[in-house]
Structure 1
Amino acid sequence: MTGEDGGPLAAQWVARKQVSHDELLISGGALWWLQSDPDLGGARRLMRAAPDTPAQAQTPPGVSVGGWLHAYGGGSFAVTADAQWVVAGDSRIYRLRPGAEPELAVAESDGYQYGELHHAEDILLAVRGTDAGDQIVEITPQGGVRVLVSSTGFLASPQLHGGVLAYLEWDADRMPWDSTRLLLTDALPVRRSPGRLLAGSEQEAVVQPLWGPDGLLYFMSDRTGWWNLYRWTGEAIEPVAPMEADCAPAPWEGGYRSYAFTDSGQIVLTVHDGIRTQMVTVHRDGRRTQHATNLTSIKPYVATHGNRAFFIGSTPTSRPSVRTVDLGGPGDQSALPIIPDPDIAPAQPTTPIPIIRTVHTGELSIRYLLHQPGGGLPAPLIVRAHPGPTDDVPLRLDWAVQFFVSRGFAVAEVAYRGSTGQGRGFRQALHGHWGEYDVEDCATVAHQLLESGQVLPNAVFITGASAGGYTALQAACRRGPFTAATATSAITDPARWEKAVPRFQRPHAAILAGPAGEVRAEAVRVPVLLIHGTDDEIAAADDARRLSNDLTALGRPHEALFLEGVGHYLSAPAALERALLAELDFYERLMLREPQP
């Protein structure tokens, strides 16, 4: 069944509808973005739409856009008057011209991974990195490379204006959401000494620098404990829109732009509370106007053209898509998709919109999204620990969640300690306590729902992917409310993971790691399901195999599904379909067994 009649959603249908949209920008009066294609195994294609032209893919089927600079890529394309420049899956830059085959923009890669493309003043900039450090480089039309800045740490967000280069740098033992520096230098080769420091410190993370149309440098800083917008006037730094809210997400990828400028001098930016995202316009006189109030989730890519804003937004009943809103229209203007969504119909009208609930842990308030099945409560429960763990719980339609809701499960998505969108203090609360506080918060949510009689005893499951998989496995090692756990692409040992992951994430492992340590087979108390791709480049499949073998040796109930040729993300529809079916079957068989004392 496909769900059109209100019945359960089919795994195959769901897997094909997990389409992603990223890296939206305006160039040459046209709108450009990346979009995954389920017909090509989830490969990402560069899309273009213009007022007189419908959306069309600009990259051939054999090119998937998106490299692996800093492990997660970003800033994967730039557009010039006569070509497009993309970072492909091999982390090398290719030039695309109409009617021609893709050609390498830099003939020799020398082991570098490229990303963070930026085109300004007829110059194409990029960040490239190896295990030895990063460089900001200019790519010449002839395929040459001119090094502008070099660092043994990390570099990001090169922004050029009037021959002055602004960029971010952070040390090799830090993460960019904990400590970064915003620097300025003349765009001359080669700068191995630091540029002029404008902002940032051990206790301040600066993100998303952009030159405004007024010639001033804008950026987000969490110096007050919240990521807010500031500008450098040439003499001083001043706040633009101070508020007790985060206006930017943690920079997992390059190329984020959570704000943009209109022709009339307004600034459009996102405001996030960890679950819900709003779009706000800041006027010249400081007034703020909220737009697109029909949306509840907006990705960190905002673009403007004339009086219109463009972004990737969604609601609890519509998946993320490219949308637009008229900033100059009368009253509140709803954001409309620029491309009609052909598959809104299968959304179940009887499924309630998820509700935001709160549970208390000591003096802290932990919020979560509760999705209730159409058949009502009590119901079996799946507690979802988000990946990251420096991430959030967006209020948007997720067909993978609805797959389980359509089969009678309640799903609770927990914004546990360490989540983003709730300020610097909450974001860093998990430091040194990974596998403890996150597990406690997920368990507290489950206990609340059990005690209120809203979920069925002996049918309380926890699931997570990547870092969320580690949370799920640690929950399986404790006495608590959980009947079983599913861990997808899971980290199993922070210490071993720290040595094996790409350079970007090594500090993350060290900063988060606490007494919980490795997931040990002898500590596992409930059945677990391990789902892992054999080509996982973030969390090695060998670690999951080791845990599976140890559980087998001890006779502990568990199941393992290893997906051949699949990486960290189950982006290919076939891989996601198998994972969904395996997880559903795991829960349903456990619910059929006799309750354990």
Structure 2
Amino acid sequence: MSETTTAPYGNWKSPITSDVVVQGTTPLVSVQLDGDNLFFAEAHPSEAGRNTVFCQSRDGRIHECTPAPFNVRTRVHEYGGGAFTAHEGNLYFSNFADNLLYVRTADGDIRKLTDDGNHRYADGIVDGRRKHWIGVREDHTKSAIFAETTLVRMNLDGSDEKIIVSGNDFYSNPRLSDDGQHLCWTTWNHPNMPWDETELWIADLTDDGALTNERKVAGGKGESVVEPVWSPDGHLYYISDRSNWWNLYRWDGDSTSAVCPMEAEFSSPSWVFGISHYDFVNKDTIVCSYTQNGTWYLAELDTASGDIHRLDSQYTVFGSIHSNGQKLVYLAASPSSFSVLIESDADGKHPNILRTSAELTVSQDYLSQPESIEFPTTGGKTAHAIYYPPHNPDFTAPAGEKPPLLVHVHGGPTSSSSSALNLSTQYWTSHGFAVVDVNYGGSSGYGREYRDRLKGQWGIVDVDDCVYAALYLVERGDVDGARIAIAGGSAGGYTTLAALTFRDVFRAGASYFGLSELEIFAQETHKFESRYMDSLLGPYPAAKDVYYQRSPIHFTDQLSCPVIFFQGLDDKIVP
């Protein structure tokens, strides 16, 4: 056993260097099953972030379906997601460069299905009975901020494209029942975001694919309905937060019932299309993921009894869950593992890693393990965070010294930090810093009431919670109150700048593509987020004074510590 070196916190040497942090990774984007064929998308940073789809055929061989220059991404809502779907070995995908829809046939030919680059496509499915592609279309012909979003269908050769559902501002989740008789979808209007208020609709399909008998199944004022999935026996399942928690519900054609009421979240904010937190193994069994206190679990749910039990797993984050009845595939990560693609038996047993996003090139001995904490904040409430203490097996600190603290602020702001391995965090902890990922009021994963804390309070609640997270760790004796820094990206960058400007707790900060002028964001951002500020700050321009008072750029004279800025000139989301 080697001896440790005594050195001040922050001066530790670590094998987790900046080069290791930025080493090549291949993020796993999404997964889909088409019969026995498995399709999955990867992002390749070495190719300027190009996304490409691979297929594992039933014989186990893996091959690339969309070679360069194809980039399987969509810009619907700018954040994309749901860029491909597969049916009978044919892959239908959106190409990022020209926004066109393509098909890669089972024999390897690739051809265009659409011609108008002003039309963007996402979240597609295939109606095999009628030979139609059905999905979301975002029409930018007239304007980007006033783009028209509809549901469309077209023949599988790209001909005869028709709008089948229109009239609302946004659509998502077109899903076809197994018998091909019914189509469901979710929809919402400005100023709502999909985690605020959505509706779930259903319609019958005629033989030629026309919709009849359209009716609302769920949703409305104060209710977010997401992730509709048809069961093998024709019932419609969905996730709703009507109980304060995103829980599973079942609609049998006449009535709705809660499947498994829990104080847990079975979904996450729909920033992108195509999220999938559950799927059917058979008509009576669902495999799902849910989160409690910042940790995700994989579970098996009996739809008849509502009984749920966790599946044994070393992982703490799960997503893109799919089953064909014989096997289960999903993405997973943990505090000591990058994202992996896993295939298992349908009941979750015998998991096998098919793909890894990156290999850990340093010993796990250097990894700090996360601690979920709940701390007091303003108004007699509590908030949540994930704390990483400094850790390096080669070093100890001088007796009595407390480590410096880096407060990390996630983006969104309607999002959350997870416990998945992040080498940026481990860089700091292995060099002798403590890190806390703050899931401030407004974050997802803790119920709707917690998520709604930020309504009208952005720049206040989030800032207070970051301050109180730091002060809690100081009071607990974990960190040095005189050495606290803060950093965040996008919305987290805004919170960082607001905390540095309007509070006197932090000694340095870093803003990564953060907002500093809220009025410009409200006026110039893309359609999907163009009314997001209505709920976070108030309608613009009626609440113009609020936008001004909470914009750090107008109060730079109050900054009294160093701050570094990283900003992108071509950023369409944060202008």
How would you bin the TM-score normalised by the shorter chain? 0.7 to 0.9
The Cα of 1:533 is off from its aligned counterpart by: 1.6
Amino acid at match of 1:469: G
Amino acid at match of 2:571: D
Are residues 336 and 403 of structure 1, via their aligned partners in 2, closer, same or farther at CA, if it must alter by over 3 Å? farther
2:272 is the alignment partner of 1:267: no
1:493-545 Cα offsets, whole Å, 9 max, x none, are 222201111111112122112645211223323221110122111001xxxxx
The range that moved more, 48-57 or 439-448, is 48-57
Check conservation: 2:239, 2:267, Cα contact below 8 A.
Answer: yes
1:232-276 Cα offsets, whole Å, 9 max, x none, are 111111111111111110111111111100136311111112511
Distance in 2, matches of 1:57 and 1:449, equals: 48
The Cα of 1:435 is off from its aligned counterpart by: 0.8
- Corresponding residue for 1:519? 552
Distance in 1, matches of 2:242 and 2:356, equals: 41
Distance in 1, matches of 2:404 and 2:324, equals: 47
- Corresponding residue for 2:87? 80
- Corresponding residue for 1:393? 417
- Corresponding residue for 1:479? 503
The Cα of 1:460 is off from its aligned counterpart by: 1.2
Amino acid at match of 2:78: A
2:514 to 468, 490, 499: 490
- Corresponding residue for 2:6? none
1:271-292 Cα offsets, whole Å, 9 max, x none, are 1125110111112433212114
Amino acid at match of 2:104: L
- Corresponding residue for 1:557? none
1:34-76 Cα offsets, whole Å, 9 max, x none, are 1111321222111222452243322112122111112211111
The gaps in structure 1 that reach 5 residues or longer are 541-597
3-state DSSP of counterpart to 1:414? strand
Distance in 2, matches of 1:192 and 1:151, equals: 15
1:424 to 442, 448, 467: 448
Amino acid at match of 1:95: V
The Cα of 1:222 is off from its aligned counterpart by: 0.9
Check conservation: 2:197, 2:222, Cα contact below 8 A.
Answer: yes
Matched-pair identity in % = 27
Amino acid at match of 1:124: W
Check conservation: 2:293, 2:372, Cα contact below 8 A.
Answer: no
- Corresponding residue for 1:157? 173
1:405 to 419, 423, 429: 429
Distance in 2, matches of 1:536 and 1:357, equals: 34
- Corresponding residue for 1:285? 305
3-state DSSP of counterpart to 2:470? helix
The gaps in structure 2 that reach 5 residues or longer are 1-11, 140-145, 539-545
Q: Counterparts of 1:22-421 in structure 2 under 5 Å?
A: 22-90=29-97, 91-97=99-105, 102-109=110-117, 111-121=118-128, 122-130=131-139, 131-144=146-159, 145-161=161-177, 162-187=180-205, 195-263=214-282, 265-273=284-292, 275-283=294-302, 284-299=304-319, 301-328=320-347, 333=349, 335-339=351-355, 343-361=359-377, 362-373=379-390, 374=392, 375=395, 378-421=402-445
The Cα of 1:345 is off from its aligned counterpart by: 4.2
- Corresponding residue for 1:534? 569
2:467 is the alignment partner of 1:443: yes
Distance in 1, matches of 2:65 and 2:19, equals: 27
1:313-335 Cα offsets, whole Å, 9 max, x none, are 11110011111344547xxx574
The Cα of 1:141 is off from its aligned counterpart by: 2.5
Amino acid at match of 2:218: A
2:17 is the alignment partner of 1:10: yes
3-state DSSP of counterpart to 1:384? strand
Distance in 1, matches of 2:22 and 2:366, equals: 22
Check conservation: 1:293, 1:334, Cα contact below 8 A.
Answer: no
Are residues 364 and 97 of structure 1, via their aligned partners in 2, closer, same or farther at CA, if it must alter by over 3 Å? same
Check conservation: 1:150, 1:191, Cα contact below 8 A.
Answer: no
Check conservation: 1:147, 1:190, Cα contact below 8 A.
Answer: no
TM-score normalised by length of structure 1 = 0.84
Amino acid at match of 2:174: P
Distance in 2, matches of 1:491 and 1:342, equals: 31
The Cα of 1:17 is off from its aligned counterpart by: 4.2
Check conservation: 1:278, 1:296, Cα contact below 8 A.
Answer: yes
The Cα of 1:341 is off from its aligned counterpart by: 7.1
Amino acid at match of 2:374: T
Pairwise CA RMSD = 2.4
3-state DSSP of counterpart to 2:480? strand
Amino acid at match of 1:295: Y
The Cα of 1:461 is off from its aligned counterpart by: 0.9
Amino acid at match of 1:359: F
The Cα of 1:29 is off from its aligned counterpart by: 0.5
Amino acid at match of 2:87: T
Check conservation: 1:6, 1:350, Cα contact below 8 A.
Answer: no
Check conservation: 2:24, 2:46, Cα contact below 8 A.
Answer: no
Are residues 365 and 327 of structure 1, via their aligned partners in 2, closer, same or farther at CA, if it must alter by over 3 Å? farther
Amino acid at match of 1:290: R
Amino acid at match of 1:321: V
Across the two proteins, how many residue pairs are aligned to each other? 531
Distance in 2, matches of 1:187 and 1:469, equals: 47
Are residues 151 and 174 of structure 1, via their aligned partners in 2, closer, same or farther at CA, if it must alter by over 3 Å? same
- Corresponding residue for 2:8? none
Check conservation: 1:493, 1:519, Cα contact below 8 A.
Answer: yes
TM-score normalised by length of structure 2 = 0.87
Runs of 4+ in 1 over 6 A off after TM superposition: 188-194
